[in-house]
Amino acid sequence: MKKLSNFKNNLSKNLQWQNFLPQFFLLLFFCLLIFYFTRNAQINLLARNITSGFDFLSTNSGFDVQFSLIPYDGSFSFGRAYLVGLLNTLLVSFFGIIFASILGFVIGISRLSENLLLSKLSLFYVELFRNLPLILQIFFWYFVVLRNLPSTEKSLILLNFLIVNVQGFYFPKFIFTNFPFVLYGIIFAILTIFLVKYYSNKMFYNTGKYLPVFKLSLVFLILFPLIFSFLGNVGLKFEQAKLIQNFGIFNYVGGVKLVPEFLALLFALSLYTSAFIAENVRAGILSISKGQKEAAKSIGLNNSLSLKLIIIPQALRVIIPPTTNQYLNLVKNSSLAAGIGYPDLTSVFAGTSLSQTGKAIEIIFIVMMTYLSISLFISLILNWYNKKIAFISK
């Protein structure tokens, strides 16, 4: 008996050592590595006469960027330049995600179409865009398509609305007077929708009937802002870009200008990511067993209703996790902007600012941490959503 407990003690001690040592060595190795790197960095920076620290963020940057959402020029600080880059990254990612989702959804459904031509064409689209390196696609859109558009004097004008030339795309600017009233209308509409939804749920529990909440919401969202803008005397004017000749050089002034760098990046990101999303959508819809479709048909749902009520809600559970990954990839891929000089976070901060200040360690650290935070933030939100719609097995 004693022998056995002795043996047990021995064993557990042994196990503890086995557990402790590798962890200890890993920590030791990691700390030594960090110590080694910091020590070298200190020596190197001293030799090159570069001070370390984040003070540079508040000094004047001295460089200009060609596209910015907030006022910025060389007299602003590096901190402001960081903000400009971050906003530009978020801008292109936001629109990229929207376009890629819409395109991906349409193409994914087209791939399953009964129409052979459509499904083969969608297959071609998917295989074409997902098998080409993204940087190549960006270069193609930028250097081959957008840089070869007509010059300013010979701009293409589409529908008297969009002006296209080598400098970029010009949309008319919407100028509102008394704009807050539109916002009030939207807020009022949202509140009404919540009320209707609540009422409809209640009605459903009591009588088994429910209101067409979605259609009503659409009507409210359009109607209320219109009524409010009528009441609040909201005015709307378009400000079209105008052609102005300055020292013999033609230029469009005014309107909303989208630079070709932004457009090239947006096109490439949307098309590339949409090909992957299309595959996710297709896999999601295929994952629904045939029985579900047959059951939907047998209770008398037509094609579009069965798609809306039976297939898509179930398919979404399969589609969303890999699509989240594609959104994350899109945000990370927007850093390829550095290749064509769109002033995103990487090119403004890890490119221009780094070469201006020489503070490689601080700047790379900030850029990496920013991307990491964006990635973690998106995956947190979508994990939460994922949990919400996951099957609750009883």
Partner 1 sequence: MKIKNLINWSKQNLFSSVFNSLISLFCIYLIIISLPPFIDWAFLSATFEGKLKTDCKTSGACWVFVKVWFEKFTYGFYPVENIWRINLSFLILILSIAASFFVKDKFKIYILFFLIFIFPIIAFILIHGSFGMQIVESREWGGLALTFILAIFGIIFSFPLGVLLALGRRSELPVIKYFSICFIEFWRGIPLITVLFAAAVMFPLLLPADTYVDKTLRIAIGIAIFESAYIAEVVRGGLQSLSKGQYDAAKSLGMGYWKMNIFIILPQAIKTVIPGIANTFIALLKDTPLIVLVGMAEILGMINLAKANPYWLGMAVEGYVFAAAIFWVVSYFLSSYSQKLENKYSTEKK
Q: Residues interacting with partner 1, by CB under 8 A?
A: 19, 22-23, 26-27, 30, 37, 40-41, 43-45, 47, 113-118, 121, 127-128, 131-136, 139-140, 143-144, 332-333, 335-336, 338-339, 346, 350, 354, 360-361, 364, 367-368, 371-372, 375-376
Least distance (Å) between residue 158 CB and partner 1 = 17
Nearer to partner 1, 182 or 350 (CB): 350
**Residue 72 CA: distances (Å) to CA of 61, 62, 94, 159:** 10, 11, 22, 33
Contacts 24+ apart (CB under 8 A), 323-327: 323/101, 323/104, 323/277, 323/280, 323/281, 324/378, 324/379, 324/382, 324/383, 324/386, 326/100, 326/104, 326/273, 326/276, 326/277, 326/280, 327/97, 327/273, 327/378, 327/382
What's the closest the beta carbon of residue 210 comes to partner 1, in angstroms? 29
Selection from 279, 273, 269, 270 nearest residue 108 by Cα: 279
CB of 192 to partner 1, least distance (A): 35
Single-letter amino acid, residue 231? L
Tell me whether residue 149 or residue 354 sits nearer to partner 1 (CB atom).
Answer: 354
Distances in whole angstroms, Cα of residue 217 to Cα of each of 223, 306, 328 = 10, 22, 31
Strand ranges (E), the chain: 156-158, 162-165, 168-171, 173-177, 235-239, 242-246, 249-253, 256-258
Nearer to partner 1, 245 or 289 (CB): 289
**Eight-class DSSP state of 288:** S
Tokens of 243: 């052609």
247 versus 384: smaller Cβ distance to partner 1: 384
Structure tokens at 216: 């009503």
Taking each helix axis from N to C end, the angle separating 260-286 and 312-333, rounded to the nearest 10 degrees, works out to 150
Q: Residue 256 gets which letter from DSSP?
A: E
Nearer to partner 1 among residue 22 and residue 71 (C-beta) = 22
CB of 19 to partner 1, least distance (A): 6
23 vs 160, which CB is nearer to partner 1? 23
- Dmax over Cα atoms in the chain, in whole Å? 104
Taking the complex as a whole, the smallest distance from the CB of residue 87 to partner 1 amounts, in Å, to 17
Helix (H, G, I), strand (E, B), or coil: what is residue 37?
helix
Residue labelled with tokens 């993204």: 134
Work out how close the CB of 333 gets to partner 1 at its nearest, in angstroms, rounded to a whole number: 7
The distance of closest approach from Cβ of residue 175 to partner 1 in the complex, given in angstroms and rounded to an integer, is 37
- Torsion sign, CA atoms 192, 198, 199, 200: positive
Amino acid found at 289? S
Q: Which is nearer to partner 1, 87 or 216 (CB)?
A: 87
Q: Which is nearer to partner 1, 270 or 333 (CB)?
A: 333
Q: Is the CB of residue 253 less than 8 Å from the CB of residue 244?
A: yes
State which residue, 229 or 326, has the beta carbon closest to partner 1. Answer: 326
Distance CA(195)–CA(71), nearest Å, equals: 41
CA 280, chain centre distance (Å)? 17
| Cβ distance to partner 1 smaller for residue 177 or 303 | 303
At closest approach, how far in Å is the CB of 373 from partner 1?
8
Q: Under a CB-based contact definition with an 8 Å cutoff, are residues 151 and 165 in contact?
A: yes
Shortest distance, CB of residue 37 to partner 1, whole angstroms?
4
Minimum distance from CB of 206 to partner 1 (Å)?
39
